[in-house]
Each structure stands twice: as structure tokens, then as C-alpha cells.
Amino acid sequence: MVFKNPCCCLKKSRIGYTGSSEELDSLPTSPKPPEEQNITVLPVDDPNFMTFSVMEVLDLNPNPNDYQFLGVICQVYDGSASIHVARHIPSGRYISIRKVDLDMLDREESGLSSLHRELSLMRLMQHDHILPYYCAFVAGRELWVVLPLMEQGSARDLLDKHFPDGLGETAIALILHDVLLALDYMHNMGYIHRSVKASHIFLSRSGGVYLSGFRTAITMIKDGQKLRAIHDFPADTVQNLHWLAPETLEQNLLGYDTKSDIYSLGIAACELANGCIPFSDMVPMKMLLEKINSTTPKLLDSVTLGESEGETTDSQTRRDSGLGESSYPSLGNEPNPYNRQFSLEFHDFIEVCLRHDPSERPSAAELLEHDFFKQVSTKTTQEVLCSMFQSVKPVSYTPCQSSSKDVDDSVKTLENLQLTDEWEFD
Amino acid sequence: MVDVNMLDKVQKINPEQCLPVGVTSNTIISGSQPCPLFLEPDEFRCQFDFFYEEEGDGLFIHRVNSEDIIYSPRPRKAKLIGKYLMGECLGEGSYGKVKEVLDSETLCRRAVKILKQKRLKRIPNGEQNVQREIEILRRLRHPNVIQLVDVIHNEEKQKMYLVMEYCVGGLQEMLDTAPDKKFPEWQAHGYMCQLLDGLEYLHGQGTIHKDIKPSNLLLTTGGVLKISDFGVAERLDYFAKDDTCRTSQGSPAFQPPEIANGVESFSGYKVDVWSSGVTLFNITTGKFPFKGDNIYRLFENIGKGVFTVPRNVPSPLANLIQGMLQMDPNERFGVQEVKRHPWIKRKPPMVGREVPLPPLPDSSDELRSMTVIPYLDAMYNPMESDEDDERSEAGEEEQSEVNNYGNLSSFPVIDENEPLDVNQPNVQSSHLEVERPVFGLGDDLDRNRKSSRLRRLSPASCKQQ
């Protein structure tokens, strides 16, 4: 590996796969106006549009020439990596490729080793709800990781683009159920994920839910023994702080364990339901204080808001106008928090996940038995989500400046050039 | 009049006891009136003795508004150095204090070594040593070597801040509270292996630590050993043929015979092996191989190189200690030989109770939680502990100022202006001008001094959690 540019090393790189842009987290959740025409939506309705099934165990050829790039979905990790839509030429199917600029990797922050750790972990984890990759290879100065194409992007993308006020409860239950299955699997393998959040939950058009974001995952197994607790603080992932459990942030002799993921899941559940990330209006230090003082986020609905603020006339009038507009079950959520009500089971689910004392939080396996998931029948999860996704657009991408076409054009213009002007010599 | 500053003193000395004064103080302690009724006179006398002393002629108790008590400057005031929020003192080196800090962006706990240029100038080679320490630390990166995270200069205050990885405590601290001042064999083995990994790396980088001893071996919350304090370390020249050194300023009890005998040049790596050997001897037996009433006697004994390993030490360990404490540096084990030794290779059975980190001397916190929390509390919830109903103007001002803190960019970057110096002028600096010689257990003395200082600091930390 060559690290040519010393300036690049000063930049903090964020390595790992998130199909969604991390930067979006901090942006206001209002739907963005459609930008210029160079944004293309995935042609999911095109009969020629075919992807690999995620569960197909494929060993695609690590040959850069096998892939035709169609466009960029987003930039991740401070621009050191980008997610592309591409077509696998031999099969004609669509895939996504994460390109990591190896020169941008920060050697000081041991970016390369964390990238390596992430990929080997993704290979190790074989589960229906964990995002796999087909192959990874070095092309030029970049590392290409070929992944299944997630047509709906991440759950965060879904919130940002279509549902700034949160998803409907049924959709959340379906998504979290699958995430918990993945977490239970990871925890049994002795790993802590450490960054469970909406932008690490990926959704395929066919209703598949996949957990990713393994860059921060850490093993609890040392010298062949499972540790009681670990103490490593993920200091280089500032963008995950809002989801971290109080015991992880406290960094004292107690340390933390797999229960810290349950707390993060609770925060992610609030994120999915409310649209906004709990504590996101605070600077990190204030958030730390709130978490240590056992402040717990809540679902924003008429129950919690009624408790804290009481009914205002404004909300009353809005409630009237809102009637009749909601169609249940839909993917989205009633936009006015005063006008919606989540089930008591959902409220309880959030409460048990966000308990301050990790020993009082249920494990992933126990949570799967929670009443909140009674509305989920495992057989139809994928179908229900799939039908829900029909109403929303898939992720969009910025098409490549198709250089070949440009070249063709300029060649043509050159060919058609007619030198009618005569040379003039004075 | 008894001014607010005096009441401030009351708070510092005994915050709990002075609380009733503030709470019931509508008719409070007032000038030339009998003392308030809520305290028995005797009780009062013993609590506020200095009131009498200060006033001299008879009892003067003055009226003080309750606001003055409540809003008098409190010891808990958030201070930021760069992006680091200052916490409590962790200890004192010869060059200055070490405090716990919190990185306000990543929320990672760190430790900062505060160096005052004035003080550095008074120590022979002080500034030079610090520059060298920074140069050396900057190049090092290993799990068992303390990492320098950041260096901040403050030209105006003539101070320098070395931000390092946070460690919860050191081996010395644990030994001090352990029965027989030693670790069970398996625990010592774990530390020794980590020390050797760190040393191997250091020597590979051409760096000689020269001051290996239990008090320079720190532990993280996860129990990872970190070799720290590179104040007297030496980095070999890139083109140096071997590890020949000519100077050593390490702690006397851990110095090898060649230095005790004043040899002009010696092998640097073998110095570290020797002091690691003394460390191993110390943490497994609770004793020192060489003793002396003063530095001359001590060096005389080291120079002879004669010592005895206590009988109860098992033979593989005794053999290793003998190998590391060979008088002749050429016969002494190298780091590689030590690593290959049977005692290192074979993990001893987990017999004997683990010696834990003791709770901090100034609080009963066994978890060693963040000490910055009270400061954070003061920053974001300044009213929390006060009487809610009586918000004075001053209080509101404070509130609005604090609201600005919500936005980090508007943080006033305050330099730490040690409030202690006002009340205890030069107490600690006078201790520190003298480079303390270490004779074996001499560290104990120093430790007591530290803990007494820490106790004085306690008002800020007593509110923790």
C-alpha cells in the first residue's frame, strides 16, 4: 500500500459500509426539494432490472472489467469511500460497489486494519439478516467491495426522503424483529455491534432487512475465553455517540457488554418512530450528562406529549384536520405527534431497552419474545414490508458522466468537422 | 464583616456541615447578635472556630444574605483547555499535576500532564527533558506504551499540556494496598508479559526507557498495562552502532550495578532489563533486592550485585530473577531471553486473590468513574443544587450564560486557573522543587503527600453521582 499524500493522513477517515450517507444524520429531516435532473431513481420497474438474491452464495470474479458503473449513490466516511450502483456485466444483474480510496485511509488511525477487520467479520457472519458481500479486491488505488444492491437504501434514507416524522408501528416492528434476530446471532458469536442505528439497517425492495456497519464491532472473546465485560471506547466514531449506552460512555471499571447493543436498539427504535434522533439537539457533553442522569428518550405520540405538555388548542385543530388521512397499515406515520398513538407494547419495548442498568435490560433473545412483536408473523414479514415499499421510490443516484459517450460525441464532432475555411497567409 | 470569601472557605472545608447555614438563613448569622438558634453553641464553635480566630475580639457574627452564600463562587467550575474539559487531579509528577480530562467531541476520557514553564526552568534539564519526552512519545504506538494524544501550548500562561491516554491507576497504587505489598504469581505474570511486549517494542524502536518501576506501569480500565513516564528516556541515534548510553536519571533503587558503580558507558537495553528484574522481584515478593539507608549505601549494595531471593519464591521465578539481575550486563538476559524463559512461557495457576485497584483516596468510588461529571453538572445545571425559589439576578445571569454552552462553538475557552492556589499558596510547589530520590519504598512518602492533597480537593468530587 502506498500512502502518497501525507495531507490525506491527517484527515480522519471513516471506513466501513453504510449505504446511507452519515452526513444526513445531522441534516434537518424535512424532505429535500428535487435537485437537478442528474439524479436518477433506480429503474426497479424495468423488466431488465435484476439483482442477485442476497442469500445466493456467490463468488463473483474479482475482475474490475466485469463491472459497469452506473452512478454514485452517496459518499461515506468523509469522502474516503463512496457507494456506487453498478452492473455485473457477465450476468447483467445490478449490484452495489463500495469503493474505498486506500490513499485516503488514515494510517495513524489504523484505518486499514479496521477495514480488514470489518470485511473479515462480514465474511464470518452468515445470517439471513446480516448484509454479506460477494467479493472484495484492490483495483488501482481503490478497494472495491461488491455488495448486494439495497434498493431502498438504509432505514435512515427512508426517513430522510419519505418519512421525516417516522415510520408506522407495524413497519418498525417488522424491521426491529429482523434486526434483533441478527443481533442475537452476533451476541451468541461473542460480538458486540456497537453502532446499531437506522443508517446501519438496510432494506431491499423485496422486503429484506439487513444489519450492517461492522466497522465498530468488537469481540468479547479473548484468549479463548468470553470476557465478562469489555472496556474499549470507540473514540474514533463520533457519529455513533448518540446511540451509545450510558455504561459504554462512562468508561469506568465496570465496562459494558452485549446489553449495550440493546440500549442502542432502543435509541434506533425511537429514531424510526420519531423520525429524529434522540439527543441530536445536544452537544456530546450535554448528552453524556443526560444519559448518566438516566434521562430516557420516549416515543413522541399523544400519550407522552399529553403527559408532558398538555393539550394545546393548536393540536386540537390539527387533530381535526388530520382525521381520515391516515391509511393503516402504511409504511409511514401520522406526521403530527399529537395525533398519533403508539401501542402500549411499543412504549414498554422502548422502556425496557433504555433502562439505565444494563442488567435490567433484556437480552436480544428475550426481546424477541416481547409483546411488541405479537403483530409480527414471521412468515409474512418480507411480504408485508415488500408491499409497503411499493408506495415509495427506491434510492436515487447520480449517473456517472459517461465518459465513453462523451468521447464518442467528441470523436463524431471531430469526424464531421469540415475544414471549409481556407488557410490564409499574409 | 464576615465576607463571602470566608463563607466560601466554610464550604470548601466542610460543605455538608455548612449547608444548614444557607438553608435556614433568612435571619442568619448577623453582626453582634447572638448566634442563630439552629445550632448548639458548642457545635457551632467547633464548626466555625476560625470565625473566632479571625475576628479576635469577641464573637462577631454578621448578617449575610442567603444569596451570597448560595451564589458565592463555587469550587466546581468547568474549565476547558482546547476541546478538553478538566476533571480532578489524578496525581503529581515532578513537573506538575496530572488531571483527568474529557474530550468534549469524542467523549473519550483522557489524562493531561500540565507543565508550567516556570517550574520547568527550576529543574535541571527540565525543559530539555520535556521536549525529548514529547519527541519520543510522538513516534511510539503500541498497546503497552502510553500514547500521547495531543500537545497544547499556552504561551500566555506559560503552560504546556500533554494529553495522554487515560489510565485508572498504577501498579504501585495497588501494591500499597495489597497484603504483603505483592501480587499473586499469576497476576504478576500477566503484568510482566505485557511489560515485556512493551519493552520489546520500545527497544525495537531504539528507545530506552531507563525508569521502569511499578509506579511507571499504569493500567487502563480494561486492565491493559501501559509503560508511562518517558521523562528520562533516551532515543538512540538512527546511525548508532549499538545501544551504548552514557547517562541515566532513573530511580536509584532500580538502577543496575554499572550505573551504581559509575561506569562511563553501558548497554541501554540491559538497563531496562535490570530495572524490570527489580520490578519483578518487587511485585512478587513485596521486597527490594537491594536496600540502603541513603543513596550511597544503596549504590554500594547494588554495585556489589549480591542479593538473595526469598526462599518461598518458586524455582523457575527465582531463576528468572537471577537471570535478569546478573551483575555483568553481558551475562544478563536480553528481552528475548526473558520472553523465552519457562516462567514467562508457562502461565501460573490462578492461585491467590487478585489484588484490585483501590478506591480513589478522596472518594469511595470503586468504579473510578469520570471525575468531570460534577463539572459538567455545574456547566449545564447550575441551579440544580440551589434553592429554586430564590433566584437572584446573579443567578439568572449565570443561567443565560450557561445556555450559551448549548452551542459548543460559543464556549469560552477558559484556561484552567487553579482555584486552589488562592487558598493554599505554594503548598504543593514547595514540595516539588526537590527532585525526590527514591529509596525503595520512598514512593510511599510521596503517595501520602498526594493523597492528602487529593482530600483537600474533595469538595468538588463529593457530589459525584
Overall average pLDDT of the A318-334 stretch:
46
| Angle made by CA atoms B286, B291, B296, in degrees to the nearest 5 | 155
Which of B107, B223, B405 is facing A284, going by the closest CB pair? B107
Residue A245: phi and psi, rounded to 5, are -75, 155
Give the residue, B438 or A113, on which the prediction is more confident: A113
Whether residues A88 and A217 fall in one domain = no
CATH code, domain carrying A341: 1.10.510.10
Question: Per the annotation, does B241 bind a ligand?
Answer: no
C-alpha cell of residue B387 = 434553592
Cα gap A356→A296, rounded to integer Å: 8
Whether residues A132 and A218 fall in one domain = no
Put simply, whether the predicted model's pTM sits higher than 0.80 gets the answer no
Whether residues A75 and A214 fall in one domain = no
Whether residues A298 and A381 fall in one domain = yes
Overall average pLDDT of the A305-331 stretch:
45
Whether residues A88 and A226 fall in one domain = no
Cβ–Cβ below 8 Å for A252 and B222: no
- Position B224 scores a pLDDT of 95
C-alpha cell of residue B352 = 491467590
Domain contains A190: yes
Cβ–Cβ below 8 Å for B370 and A253: no
Domain contains A28: no
**Burial (Cβ within 10 Å: 0-12, 13-18, ≥19) of residue A187:** buried
Residues of B with Cβ-Cβ distance to A292 under 8 angstroms: 373, 465
C-alpha cell of residue B59 = 464573637
Q: For all residues of chain B together, what is the average pLDDT? A: 74
Whether residues A300 and A326 fall in one domain = yes
| Angle made by CA atoms B389, B395, B400, in degrees to the nearest 5 | 115
Interface of A with B in 281-300 (CB under 8 A): 282-286, 288-289, 292
Domain contains A313: yes
Whether residues A372 and A223 fall in one domain = yes
DSSP A107: T
Alpha helices in A224-283 (DSSP H): 246-250, 259-274
Domain contains A140: yes
Q: Assess B147–A contact: CB distance below 8 Å, yes or no.
A: no
Q: Assess A253–B contact: CB distance below 8 Å, yes or no.
A: yes
Closest residue, chain B, to A241 (C-alpha): B106
pLDDT digits (tens, 9 = 90+) for B217-257: 999 999 999 999 998 899 998 888 888 888 888 899 999 99
Reported as a pLDDT band with limits 50, 70 and 90, residue B401 is very low
- Position B309 scores a pLDDT of 94
Question: Pairing state of beta strands B148-154 and A221-222?
Answer: unpaired
**Burial (Cβ within 10 Å: 0-12, 13-18, ≥19) of residue A382:** middle
Overall average pLDDT of the B348-353 stretch:
90
For testing contact with chain A, the best of B194, B221, B373 (most A CBs within 10 A): B221
Give the residue, B15 or B433, on which the prediction is more confident: B15
Q: Is the ipTM of this complex over 0.95?
A: no
Give the residue, A107 or B126, on which the prediction is more confident: B126
Domain contains A286: yes
Reported as a pLDDT band with limits 50, 70 and 90, residue A58 is low
Closest residue, chain B, to A220 (C-alpha): B222
- Tally the domains of chain A: 2
Closest residue, chain A, to B377 (C-alpha): A289
Domain contains A412: no
Residues of A with Cβ-Cβ distance to B107 under 8 angstroms: 241, 249, 284-285, 288
Counting every residue, how long is chain B? 465
Which of A253, A255, A292 is facing B373, going by the closest CB pair? A292
Cα gap B145→B217, rounded to integer Å: 9
Residues of A with Cβ-Cβ distance to B377 under 8 angstroms: 289
Whether residues A276 and A303 fall in one domain = yes
Domain contains A14: no
Percent of chain B with pLDDT over 70: 65
Residue with cell 466560601: B8
Whether residues A266 and A385 fall in one domain = yes
For testing contact with chain B, the best of A253, A254, A283 (most B CBs within 10 A): A253
Whether residues A324 and A230 fall in one domain = yes
Residues of A with Cβ-Cβ distance to B222 under 8 angstroms: 230-232, 255
- Position A398 scores a pLDDT of 84
Cα gap B197→A224, rounded to integer Å: 20
- Quote the domain boundaries for residue A55: 40-151+395-401
Closest residue, chain B, to A227 (C-alpha): B222
Whether residues A173 and A268 fall in one domain = yes
Whether residues A146 and A242 fall in one domain = no
pLDDT digits (tens, 9 = 90+) for B67-89: 554 444 445 688 999 999 999 99
B404: distance to nearest CA of chain A, Å? 11
Give the residue, A317 or B262, on which the prediction is more confident: B262
Domain contains A290: yes
Reported as a pLDDT band with limits 50, 70 and 90, residue A80 is confident
CATH code, domain carrying A54: 3.30.200.20
pLDDT digits (tens, 9 = 90+) for B98-119: 999 999 999 999 999 999 888 8
Catalytic residues of B: 211
Please spell the DSSP secondary structure of B31-53, one letter per residue: TTSPPPTTS-HHHHHHHSHHHHH
Interface of B with A in 182-201 (CB under 8 A): none
Q: Which of A292-296, A300-304, B45-49 has the least mean pLDDT? A: B45-49
pLDDT at residue A360 is higher than 90: yes
